[in-house]
Amino acid sequence: MILFEEMGLDSSILKAVKDLGFENPTPIQEKVIPRILADKKDLIARAQTGTGKTAAFGLPLIQMADGKSSDIQSLILCPTRELCIQISSDLKKYSAYHKGFRVIPVYGGANIETQIKSLKKGGQIVVGTPGRVLDLIKRKILKIHKIDWLVLDEADEMLNMGFKDDLDDILSGTPKSKQTLLFSATIPKEILRISNDYMTSPDEIMIGNKNVGADNVKHEYYVSHAKYRYEVLKRIADMNTDIYGIVFCRTRRETKEVADKFMNDGYNADALHGDLSQSQRDYVMGRFRNRTIQMLVATDVAARGLDVNDLTHVINYNLPDDLEVYIHRSGRTGRAGKSGISISILHTRETNKIKSLQKLAGKSFEKKMIPGGKEICKKQLFNLVDRVEKVELNSAQIDEFLPEINSKLSWLSREDLIKHFVSVEFNRFLSYYKNAPDLNVESYSSYDRNDRSDGRGGRSDRRDGRSDGRDGRGEGNRDGYQGKDKDIRKSSQGFTRFFINLGKVNDLNAARLMGLINDQTRTRDIEVGKIEIMRKFSFFEIEKDYEAEVLSAFEKPTEFEGARVSVELSKPEPDRPPLEKKHKKSSGSYSKDKSSYKKDKGNYKKGKNSYSKDKGARKKGKKKSHRGQ
């Protein structure tokens, strides 16, 4: 390992590094800093979040910048305002002994006029989010045609967040002579496209193995029914008395709901999501960093750029749709040489994802039993006893009150006195967990072996490579379009089947449909069964207990990708003749003798009963039909 002093950094930089307490460079700093200082060749560096990337590119850029010129020399692009603020703050610390050196942060959600004034004063480095940077370029305030260095930090996240077009517009306006430094945790196809289009024969540096989780992070998961997810979360929090972590949710709405429940139940928690103003966000993050908040409930997007090194836990309230995001989440604990735990709360239909996650992370995942009420009460009791034992005594002030205290409590025996003091703080746990139910779902343990169906949604054995029904194809011999089933829209046991007038033409997929259901019903406790995405319409199953709730939720005017949404019960049609053989795809039709699913001109015909979309109107005079689009 080489030291900072051996990298060619000047004395002012080294002094700032020493002030910050940096002792030895991280692996990415060790490889990148000398490389940038040595030549101007483009560079792609693959490294996970929290590896010291900011210093890796920041220290050499500060050293090489011309402090006498007020022209922008470096442009650093990053995905979120939080990360933009963090990078800017770090660069200002690194340049503390460079007189007159200015770093200008520009990001959305803040007054653009203030940022324009800062740019007009001049500076050496601009750090910004793509949207705000492009806005300032179009206003001819930010001039990038003469920059010497361009940094793309967390490039994969910028692409995931939809900044592809913005990045293209920005990059196309930069000089070819610049040095481009691209940092990314993953290297998807779009990163390679950027490399081919805007970089010149870049060198590549890889720190650690692709997508591999940190060695000091332990991975655990709990399995229960979806409707008990929040109860499981509370039990995890109660069992880990010193927890300091982030709970990841999928949507802003869910983030707010979980945080509100947490706070109402007496936990030190708050929410971080995209609806917060910058001042609100700063307030929440300030409280989290000083540990006034023990648990931060956040979306993936809102959590980008958070720089907190002492997290004990990361909790996946829901697994992300893109499993690679799991690696990013879990990487937020176990930093700076400390250990951490990544926990996932799964419902019974998600456990098949564990094998994929284990392969992706290169780690084994331990299935844990959801703790019961007695176990939690015992944990909390001994935590209270430990706190009492270790509390700092202020005898000088307490002694004067002891005679009166002794007199008042003299009627209690030693044992009763202990019970009274413990009960003051402990009674709420005893009351809450009295007769607490077992939330474990042992009957679904077969999913861990992945060798049979769960008996509810008609899933087929995954070992035979058949579909699970989420892509619109048949499965097994229980449900779907197949065999001699007289009712092709038969629902799985315990579920109600619904029709929705959206399909592949509306860019609908299983994940987006589940998101739509969650957003409309404002809950994630509803278990979704089989999903079939057709071309212009789809079917999905919901637990019968939530049938009325789903219908009520979709009665309100709702749009999806500009289309008006209609959701109805999908009921059997006894007048349709039985099917005699399995479907075959031919010229866009599923043909089953005289009873066919025809996609010609967008019509889904079934004898006299039709799903019709002609001119967007329902046909009248016949049996009321579903709209199929």
pLDDT at 125 over 90: yes
Identify the residue with better confidence: 279 or 619. 279
In CATH, what number is assigned to the domain containing residue 74? 3.40.50.300
Question: Last residue of some domain: 355, 372, 389?
Answer: 372
Q: Indicate if 43 and 143 belong to the same structural domain.
A: yes
pLDDT at 122 over 70: yes
pLDDT at 620: 43
Residue 485 lies in a domain: yes
Q: Indicate if 272 and 325 belong to the same structural domain.
A: yes
Q: Most confidently modeled of 172-181, 251-260, 508-517?
A: 172-181
Q: Most confidently modeled of 373-382, 478-487, 511-520?
A: 373-382
Question: Last residue of some domain: 206, 240, 273?
Answer: 206
Question: Last residue of some domain: 327, 351, 372?
Answer: 372
Q: Indicate if 117 and 141 belong to the same structural domain.
A: yes
pLDDT at 332: 83
pLDDT at 218: 92
CA distances 45 to 130, 185, 205, Å, are 20, 8, 5
The distance of Cα 349 from the centroid of its chain, to the nearest Å, equals 19
Q: How far apart are CA 136 and CA 75, in angstroms?
A: 13
Average pLDDT of the chain is: 79
pLDDT at 339: 85
pLDDT at 525: 65
Amino acid at 551: L
Q: Indicate if 232 and 170 belong to the same structural domain.
A: no
Mean pLDDT over residues 490-518, rounded?
Answer: 81
Residue 437 lies in a domain: no
Number of Cβ within 10 Å of residue 457's Cβ equals: 24
Q: Indicate if 413 and 265 belong to the same structural domain.
A: no
Q: How far apart are CA 450 and CA 468, in angstroms?
A: 13
pLDDT in tens, 185-228: 778 888 999 999 999 999 999 875 554 556 788 999 999 988 89
In CATH, what number is assigned to the domain containing residue 484? 3.30.70.330
Residue 449 lies in a domain: no
Q: How far apart are CA 363 and CA 328, in angstroms?
A: 14
pLDDT at 160: 76
Answer yes or no: are the C-beta atoms of 453 and 459 closer than 8 Å: yes
Mean pLDDT over residues 64-80, rounded?
Answer: 92
Total number of residues shown for the chain: 629
Q: Band of the pLDDT at 50, cuts 50, 70, 90?
A: low
pLDDT at 437 over 60: yes
Q: Indicate if 384 and 334 belong to the same structural domain.
A: no
Q: Indicate if 368 and 386 belong to the same structural domain.
A: no
pLDDT at 244: 95
Identify the residue with better confidence: 574 or 279. 279
pLDDT at 121 over 70: yes
Spatial CA neighbour of 492 closest among 451, 447, 452, 543: 543
pLDDT at 231 over 50: yes
Q: Band of the pLDDT at 445, cuts 50, 70, 90?
A: very low
- Mapping DSSP to helix (H, G, I), strand (E, B) and coil, where does residue 208 land? coil
- Partnered with residue 245 across adjacent β-strands are 295, 313
Amino acid at 498: F
Residue 21 lies in a domain: yes
Q: Return the minimum-mean-pLDDT range out of 197-206, 286-295, 385-394, 424-433.
A: 424-433
Q: Band of the pLDDT at 459, cuts 50, 70, 90?
A: very low
Q: How far apart are CA 576 and CA 486, in angstroms?
A: 8
Answer yes or no: are the C-beta atoms of 338 and 310 closer than 8 Å: yes
Residue 282 lies in a domain: yes
pLDDT at 482 over 50: no
CA distances 399 to 235, 393, 414, 529, Å, are 39, 10, 19, 65
pLDDT in tens, 139-170: 999 999 999 999 999 898 888 778 999 999 99
pLDDT at 187: 82
pLDDT at 615: 40
pLDDT at 394 over 90: no
* Structural domain boundaries enclosing 424: 374-432
Residue 622 lies in a domain: no
Please name the residue ranges forming H helices in 483-626.
Answer: 510-521, 547-553
pLDDT in tens, 82-115: 789 889 999 999 999 998 899 999 998 788 999 9
Q: Indicate if 498 and 362 belong to the same structural domain.
A: no
Q: Band of the pLDDT at 405, cuts 50, 70, 90?
A: confident
DSSP string, 332-379: TSS-TT--EEEEEEE-TTTGGGHHHHHHHHTS-EEE-PPPPHHHHHHH
pLDDT at 278 over 60: yes
Q: Indicate if 381 and 468 belong to the same structural domain.
A: no
Count of domains for the chain: 4
Residue 428 lies in a domain: yes
pLDDT at 253: 87
pLDDT at 524: 61
pLDDT at 516 over 70: yes
Q: How far apart are CA 492 and CA 457, in angstroms?
A: 5
Q: Indicate if 164 and 284 belong to the same structural domain.
A: no
Instruction: Give kind and range of the element (H or E) at residue 256.
Output: helix 252-264
Spatial CA neighbour of 486 closest among 570, 571, 576: 576
pLDDT at 285 over 60: yes
Q: Report percent pLDDT > 70 for the chain.
A: 79
Q: How far apart are CA 66 and CA 179, in angstroms?
A: 16
pLDDT at 67: 84
Residue 506 lies in a domain: yes
Q: Indicate if 367 and 378 belong to the same structural domain.
A: no
pLDDT in tens, 605-626: 443 444 444 444 444 444 443 4
Q: Indicate if 382 and 297 belong to the same structural domain.
A: no
Mean pLDDT over residues 488-504, rounded?
Answer: 75
Mean pLDDT over residues 169-189, rounded?
Answer: 91
